[in-house]
Each structure stands twice: as structure tokens, then as C-alpha cells.
């Protein structure tokens, strides 16, 4: 299997860097004229897939918005993942998992093993049980050509309390995560498969953000992040950055063509980002 980083590099070159979040908020379902039930969820998800997945490099469904409907919501998520992959988009399933190693393996089997009904191209992971607790996810991703995006400097205002804290070795928690990612991606070309999550909303951190892997940058759009912020935060490394937008993009529904136009327009705005 071609490594995720290589597939992502090709997808971004072909379709642009925008990562389209498919988050069926109850308020968005109502805005689209849908009921906040499983039928509404299915209609929302499939319309978003139709409008966005043929045009963007990456889609990112947030699992909780599907889980809130129980097993029938998860069945919709399974169908959404399949539809988006069929349309040529890479699926980054946003689950932010992290646990002791033996349970991390179960999460890896659930989301990264092609035999699983929820198999995706990549997942988001939380490193706060220690970066090494994610090893089963990293190893399983390597085996199946998948990717893992690890939380480093998140877009929410509460993140710095933990992420800016200094560890016993003198580096920050975020800096430690980035060091691990630097090591994991060291030999990859053109791009590693192990990414960092760094919000498009963060202020000056003093961290070295350059590494040979992709960056998921949520917070672009509804949370206030702009193209200027992306340039300020990432500078020359911005070529491997995936700005992620959910609500700002999805408010253009329920017309699939309007979603497509919004995604294409956003990718045009992001075109100046690389280099």
C-alpha cells in the first residue's frame, strides 16, 4: 500500500489543501431544513459527500456527530466514509483517540485496518497518555498505508494549559509531541504519514513547527482563523498544511452545487499558501 503521506501529497497537488469537515450539528440540520434524526443525518451526510468529496483532497467527519444517533448513526458514518473514498477523497476520521497501548491497538483495528467497516485513510489521536501509548496506532498505520494526526497545539483557548506546560526534560508538551513526529517522519519522502494538529487560531508559541509531515489546521473559518493567520503561523512550512473548515463550509448547503462552489472558492483562497 502506498504510504498515506505520499497519497496525501498527490491529493493536495491535484485538488488543493482544503480539508472539508463533515460535522452534522443539530443546528446545521435545521438550517438545511432537515429533522435532527437519523434520516436527516443520512441526507445531510450524503449531500455533503456529493458536493464536497469529488472536489477536495481530504474530508474529515467528526465521529461524535454520528455516534449521538447510536448504531444507526454509526451506520451512516460507514456509508459516508465509503462514499467519500469512492469519490476520490481521503477520509480523515476525527475520533481523537488515545488510551493504554493494548486499547490503542483496538482503536487502530477499528479505524485503520482495511477489514473494519469504519476503515479510514487516517485518524486524529490524543497523545496525553504519553506519545508511546500511540505506538499501536502508528505501527498499524504503517502496515496499512494509513496516517495518524496527533494533537499538538489545538485551536481551542483551553489547549495552552496543557500544551504549553513544560515537561521534566525542559521542552513543552507540544514541543515533545512535535519532536516525536519529527522522528517518525524523518526518512519519508516526499511527505511523512504522521501529522500534527495545530490550530489556525493559535498565537505566538515560540515552537519550531517545521517537520516532514502534514499539519491539520482546524479553526480556519468559523473559529476565526484566516489565510493571513495560516501564513503567520506556518510560514514556509505552509505547503504541507491542511486548513480544515466544517461549519463555515457546510452553511452553504443544502444545495450540493453550492457546497462544491464554496469548496472550490476556498481552495482558490488557499492557493497562495504554499512556499
Ligand X SMILES: O=C(O)c1cc(=O)[nH]c(=O)n1[C@@H]1O[C@H](COP(=O)(O)O)[C@@H](O)[C@H]1O
Residues lying near ligand X in the complex (CB under 6 A) are found at: 21, 23, 62, 94, 96, 124, 154-156, 197, 199, 218-219, 221-223, 244-248
Minimum separation from the CB atom of position 94 to ligand X (A): 5
- Rounded Cα–Cα distance for residues 208 and 205 (Å): 9
User: Which residue, 128, 130, 124, 126, is CA-closest to 111?
Assistant: 124
Minimum separation from the CB atom of position 168 to ligand X (A): 25
Choose between 50 and 248: whose C-beta lies nearer to ligand X.
Answer: 248
CB 100 within 8 A of CB 133: yes
230 Cβ neighbours under 8 A, 6+ residues apart: 200, 217, 220, 238, 241, 243, 270, 273
Minimum separation from the CB atom of position 187 to ligand X (A): 26
- Rounded Cα–Cα distance for residues 16 and 5 (Å): 15
Choose between 140 and 266: whose C-beta lies nearer to ligand X.
Answer: 266
Minimum separation from the CB atom of position 195 to ligand X (A): 10
Candidates 60, 96, 157, 231; catalytic one: 96
Choose between 214 and 221: whose C-beta lies nearer to ligand X.
Answer: 221
CB 201 within 8 A of CB 244: no
Minimum separation from the CB atom of position 217 to ligand X (A): 9
CB neighbourhood size of 147 (10 A): 30
DSSP string computed for 110-147: HHTSTTSTT--SEEEE--TT-GGGGHHHHHHHHHHT-E
Minimum separation from the CB atom of position 262 to ligand X (A): 13
Q: Is 113 exposed, middle or buried (0-12, 13-18, 19+ CB in 10 A)?
A: middle
Q: Is 85 exposed, middle or buried (0-12, 13-18, 19+ CB in 10 A)?
A: middle
96 is catalytic: yes
- Residue 215, CB-side half-sphere exposure with 13 Å CA sphere: 30
Choose between 103 and 223: whose C-beta lies nearer to ligand X.
Answer: 223
Choose between 154 and 172: whose C-beta lies nearer to ligand X.
Answer: 154
3-state secondary structure of 219: coil
CB 62 within 8 A of CB 23: yes
Choose between 26 and 169: whose C-beta lies nearer to ligand X.
Answer: 26
Catalytic (active-site) positions: 96
Amino acid at each position: 500500500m502506498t504510504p498515506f503521506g505520499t497519497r496525501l501529497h498527490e491529493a493536495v497537488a491535484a485538488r488543493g489543501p482544503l480539508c472539508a469537515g463533515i460535522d452534522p450539528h443539530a443546528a446545521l440540520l435545521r438550517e438545511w431544513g432537515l429533522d435532527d434524526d437519523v434520516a436527516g443525518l443520512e441526507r445531510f451526510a450524503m449531500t455533503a459527500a456529493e458536493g464536497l468529496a469529488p472536489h477536495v483532497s481530504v474530508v474529515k467527519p467528526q465521529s461524535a456527530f454520528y455516534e449521538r444517533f447510536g448504531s444507526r448513526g454509526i451506520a451512516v458514518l460507514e456509508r459516508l466514509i465509503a462514499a467519500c473514498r469512492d469519490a476520490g477523497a481521503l477520509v480523515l476520521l476525527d475520533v481523537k483517540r488515545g488510551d493504554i497501548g493494548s486499547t490503542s491497538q483496538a482503536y487502530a483495528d477499528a479505524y485503520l485496518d482495511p477489514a473494519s467497516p469504519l476503515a479510514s485513510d487516517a485518524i486524529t489521536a490524543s497523545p496525553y497518555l504519553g506519545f508511546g501509548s500511540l505506538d499501536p496506532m502508528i505501527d498499524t498505520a504503517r502496515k496499512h498505508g494509513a496516517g495518524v494526526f496527533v494533537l499538538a497545539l489545538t485551536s481551542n483557548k483551553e489547549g495552552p494549559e496543557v500544551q504549553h506546560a513544560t515537561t521534566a526534560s525542559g521542552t513543552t508538551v507540544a514541543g515533545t509531541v512535535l519532536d516525536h513526529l519529527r522522528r517518525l517522519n524523518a526518512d519519508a519522502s516526499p511527505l511523512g504519514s504522521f501529522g500534527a494538529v495545530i490550530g489556525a487560531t493559535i498565537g505566538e508559541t515560540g515552537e519550531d513547527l517545521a517537520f516532514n509531515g502534514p499539519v491539520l489546521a482546524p479553526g480556519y473559518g468559523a473559529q476565526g482563523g484566516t489565510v493571513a493567520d495560516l501564513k503567520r503561523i506556518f510560514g514556509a512550512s505552509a505547503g504541507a498544511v491542511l486548513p480544515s473548515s466544517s461549519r463555515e463550509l457546510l452553511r452553504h448547503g443544502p444545495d450540493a452545487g453550492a457546497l462544491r462552489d464554496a469548496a472550490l472558492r476556498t481552495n482558490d483562497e488557499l492557493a497562495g499558501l504554499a512556499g
